[in-house]
Amino acid sequence: MVTFCGGALFENQWIITAGQCVDDAVLFVITLGSATLKDHDPNRITVATSEYFLHPDYNPDTLENDLGLIKLRMPVTFTDYIRPIAPLAMHELPAKPNLRVIGWGESSIEDPAYSNELQVVEVVSLTNDECRITYGNQIKDKMVCAVGQYNEGPCFGDVGSPLLDAYSKYVAVHVGIVSFLSSNGCGSTDPSGFTRTYPYVNWIHNITTN
């Protein structure tokens, strides 16, 4: 089975993504350096991978600890089009900042095809108590929910994509990973669910530095 996921380049040899994107995976095709999937792009590269790491406490039924790391076979060279996400969140995410989700998922439920252009949508994070109004006890402390205006948000194909707190045009902190959508669909007014980055910073650093 082929699964389409998003991810974020961390340092020069790692991809941060959702655990469900690496669980029982056999082969990864990682594409970097382009904001379009159409036509030929001289800045686009496809890189090989060597191994992956699924968080040891990942639960596919509850989506707790939905986090995975993919190691690239060789470090990539940074360019104007290939840059790492930096830094990782070093504190808990407060409720309601302006955040961004970046991904290649479907752009509308009427057009069930992955986007050929990299999409960016602004969302607002909720408190977990606010999110439990929709999802009940499914929402755990290491998760966070966010919702966009005009029913905008991540859609099918965006799992694993980063949730970013953009301080400027050039600095965006990785604060979450797209984990799940409402059963009512990505065009509903329901919030989307994310894995918080902050609780896993030590695990990420332990894996990527050893």
pTM metric for this prediction: 0.93
pLDDT tens-digit readout, 91-114: 888 777 789 999 988 876 666 677
Q: H or E stretch including 30? A: strand 30-32
- Calculate mean pLDDT across residues 183-204: 92
163 has pLDDT over 80: yes
49 has pLDDT over 80: yes
| Closest by Cα among 136, 138, 134 to 191 | 134
Nearest-angstrom CA–CA distance, 165 and 176: 9
pLDDT at residue number 95: 75
134 has pLDDT over 80: yes
168 has pLDDT over 80: no
Nearest-angstrom CA–CA distance, 89 and 155: 23
- Calculate mean pLDDT across residues 11-17: 97
144 has pLDDT over 80: yes
| ω into 87 cis (within 30 of 0) | yes
CB 101 within 8 A of CB 163: yes
41 has pLDDT over 80: yes
Going from the N-terminus, what domains does the chain have, and what CATH number goes with each? 8-83+199-208 (2.40.10.10), 98-198 (2.40.10.10)
pLDDT higher at 83 or 90: 83
164 has pLDDT over 90: yes
> Would you say the C-alpha torsion 210, 173, 90, 6 has a positive or negative sign?
negative
pLDDT at residue number 170: 66
- Calculate mean pLDDT across residues 162-191: 86
